[in-house]
Structure 1
Amino acid sequence: MDLIVAGSKDGLVMVEAGAKEWAGQMGVLEAHLAANGPYVMGKDFTIGDIPVGLVVNRWFSIPFQKPEFKAVSGYYDRLAQRQPYRAHGRNGTP
């Protein structure tokens, strides 16, 4: 793993590449939720939503330009209606 140095051209390239890869993976989740949602395994919240929900929280918490994923946004909103997710998955934010 390479060290990303703030302000370096190589560091910026690596960050942009990582963001592009992450967006691709979120696109996979978008397609899955749109076809099979509202939760990861279908109509009910399951243990599988816990790790995915943490990734989705990180996605929305980090400020960078990202594509709009309506199914992922809806999923995030549904998770946020769950008090345990607000307390633990969103670091106590509403």
Structure 2
Amino acid sequence: MFSPSAPAVEWQRLHSARHPAVLPPAQDVLRELDDDGLLDFEVLSVKALIAWLSTRGYWPEDMPLSDRRADLGLTAICSSEPTGDGKVAASPEDGSGLQLL
């Protein structure tokens, strides 16, 4: 499982976006992705997902279309925060915001 939202949340905390991202419930997002045919034939890349989120207004207006910490002007860190289920969320060394669980 991964969470692409961690860098977005941090970026929004550091920047006052004119239109902050507000995601609908996960089931609604999945339904919209499915309705658009984006889940039919191939794995949806993070880049494609971010572009889709942006076109739907679910991505902060002023935020770069990236989940990579360096692209967002965030310092590269390796998180060791507990996830609540006994696992530790670790950010990859490549600086992307994906957290592997």
TM-score (norm 1): 0.25
Q: Which has the higher helix share?
A: 1
Based on CA coordinates, which of the two structures has the bigger radius of gyration?
Answer: 1
TM-score by length of 2: 0.24
> Which one has more relative contact order, counting CA pairs under 8 Å at least 6 apart?
2
